[in-house]
Amino acid sequence: MENFVPSLKIADILLTKTLDNLTGQINKNLTSNQVVVLLYLYEHLNKVNKQVDIEKNLKISHSTTRGIIKRLIKLGFVKTKPIPTDRRQIQVVLSTGGLKLLEENKQKFENIINTTLTKATKGLSSEDIQTLQRINQQIINNLQ
């Protein structure tokens, strides 16, 4: 089998770079990974979100997640607070600033994602895109 790991990594880097450049047009201090975490928290507003939940659901390492959360706290978009039922645990919540950012820009962030996906899949048929999604999911499943 031909080694295609380098091309997968290049695609990942180019997708991230494209998303970061477009995200920077909304807020120059935000990266696409930070936006993914913010959108996750926004979509789970009525849930207690611990750092480990973010790690598990977004498949991000502990240290990367911790760094993202620290930077989002510094930017004023999230805060941490103890979980009332277990004060040893902390939850990650959107701050007022984070909520405002998402309420004002959620559609823009979604458009950035859609624009990037459209650019990345240019020249592919609908069937090719479905196959790509299926194969991508199978790779994820195999490596979990």
Domains assigned to the chain: 5-110 (1.10.10.10)
Residue 97 pLDDT: 97
Residue 85: pLDDT band (50, 70, 90) is confident
Q: Could you tell me which of 44, 81, 51, 84 has the C-alpha nearest to residue 65?
A: 51
Evaluate if residue 86 carries a pLDDT over 90: no
Residue 88 pLDDT: 82
Q: Which residue has tokens 């760094």?
A: 67
Q: Is 40 exposed, middle or buried, given 0-12, 13-18 or 19+ CB atoms closer than 10 A?
A: middle
**Rounded mean pLDDT of 14-42?**
94
When mean pLDDT is compared over 43-47, 58-62, 73-77, the highest value belongs to: 73-77
Radius of gyration of the chain (CA): 17
Q: What is the number of helices (H) and of strands (E) in the chain?
A: 6, 2
For residues 47 and 63, the answer to whether their CB atoms sit within 8 Å is no
**Rounded mean pLDDT of 17-33?**
94
